Structure 1
Amino acid sequence: MDWKHWYRELEQDDETWDVSEEVVLRGVVHLDFCGQASEVEAEFIVGADSEEQVQTIEEPTELQKKTWETYMACSSEIHPQVLESIHHYYVDIVEKYRKAYSSWGEDPNEYAPYVERPEQLLDRMQLISILISDSSEKDELYLNFSCSWDREHGLGVHLKQMKIEHIQGAYTLYDLE
């Protein structure tokens, strides 16, 4: 893919300047996550020191581009590891969700069934976005999933050096940093 052209086509959301000192650049890419085709929103968060600097931001930083291109080149090797890690995480938390769904009068098997193999989770989750912040860390990004067991918060996977660092609810994961 011609990433140079894709970077220039990213949409800038500079309305966030009023509440933060960053600009979000967004684009869409089609990805395969362990055999599951997904249309994924990519978000690059770029820091800015002033409103004037906001006006000059047109592309992700060089470090963000390198992280993105490394991830895209290695995604077919990374995704099975991510799925395996999500499975381990899911096995540890499934009882909590099953109890919650039962207390709400809903069938826990519909939203949080017991699974034996990682592939069984693919029908219950979907990669929806990738976030690359303007951090000093090389090769750091977040994969965000919608999932049946936590329909409100979803699931977030934090990668550093293209290895799984942490898994948690997508919105609460960013609070760890």
Structure 2
Amino acid sequence: MDWKNWYMELEQDDESWDVSEEIVLRGVVHLNFCGQPSEVEVEFIVGADSEEQAQTIEEPTQLQKNTWEQYMEYSSAIHPQVLESIHHHYAGIVEKYRNAYSIWGEDPDEYAPYVERPEQLLDRIQLVSILISDSSAKDELYLNFSCSWDQEHGLGVHMKQMKMEHIQGVYTLYDLE
């Protein structure tokens, strides 16, 4: 893909300066997560020291571009590792969700079934967005998934240097930083 043109076509969130000192640049890509096709929203968060500087931001930083392009180049090798990490995480939380669904009078097998292999989670999760901040950490990004067991909060995977760092609910994951 021609990333140079794609970066220039990213949409800027015009309202972001009103609530923070960051500009959000958004785009969409189609990619496969372990064979599962997904339309994924990509957000680049770019810091600005002033409103004047914010108005000049037209594309991600070079570090963000490098992180994105490296991720896309190696995604077919990265995704199975991410799926394995999600499976390990899921094994540790599934009982909590099964208990909650039982208390709510819902069938826990519908939302949080027991699974033996990572691939069994593929019909339970969907990669929906990727966030790349302009933090000083090299190659840092967040993969955000919708998931059947936590439909409200979803699942977030924090990655550094293309390796899984932490898994948690999407919104609470960002609070760790």
TM class, shorter-chain normalised?
over 0.9
**Residues in 1 aligned to 2:16 and 2:112: alpha-carbon distance in whole angstroms:** 35
Match of residue 86 from structure 2: 86
Secondary structure of the corresponding residue to residue 151 of structure 1: coil
**Residues in 2 aligned to 1:157 and 1:122: alpha-carbon distance in whole angstroms:** 15
Secondary structure of the corresponding residue to residue 4 of structure 2: helix
- Paired residue type of 1:73: E
Secondary structure of the corresponding residue to residue 119 of structure 2: helix
Q: Identity, % of aligned pairs?
A: 85
Per-residue CA deviation, residues 105-137 of structure 1 (Å, 9 max, x unaligned), is: 110000000000000000000000000001001
**Residues in 1 aligned to 2:126 and 2:23: alpha-carbon distance in whole angstroms:** 26
Q: Tell me the CA shift for residue 14 of structure 1.
A: 2.6
Q: Is 1:63 aligned with 2:29?
A: no
Secondary structure of the corresponding residue to residue 143 of structure 1: strand
Q: Tell me the CA shift for residue 67 of structure 1.
A: 0.2
Q: Is 1:129 aligned with 2:124?
A: no
TM-score if structure 2 supplies the norm length? 0.99
Give ranges in structure 1 of 5+ residues lacking alignment: none
- Paired residue type of 1:68: W
- Paired residue type of 2:92: D
Q: How many residues align?
A: 177
**Residues in 2 aligned to 1:71 and 1:16: alpha-carbon distance in whole angstroms:** 26
**Residues in 2 aligned to 1:151 and 1:16: alpha-carbon distance in whole angstroms:** 26
Q: Tell me the CA shift for residue 172 of structure 1.
A: 0.4
Match of residue 139 from structure 2: 139
Match of residue 115 from structure 1: 115
Match of residue 34 from structure 1: 34
Q: Tell me the CA shift for residue 95 of structure 1.
A: 0.3
Q: Structure 1 residue runs of 4+, over 3 Å off? A: none
Q: Is 1:2 aligned with 2:17?
A: no
Secondary structure of the corresponding residue to residue 38 of structure 1: strand
- Paired residue type of 2:29: V
- Paired residue type of 1:55: Q
TM-score if structure 1 supplies the norm length? 0.99
**Residues in 2 aligned to 1:77 and 1:115: alpha-carbon distance in whole angstroms:** 22
Give ranges in structure 2 of 5+ residues lacking alignment: none
**Residues in 2 aligned to 1:28 and 1:144: alpha-carbon distance in whole angstroms:** 14
Q: CA RMSD in A?
A: 0.5
Q: Is 1:165 aligned with 2:156?
A: no
Q: Tell me the CA shift for residue 54 of structure 1.
A: 1.2
- Paired residue type of 2:19: V
Secondary structure of the corresponding residue to residue 175 of structure 2: helix
Per-residue CA deviation, residues 52-84 of structure 1 (Å, 9 max, x unaligned), is: 111100000000000000000000000000000
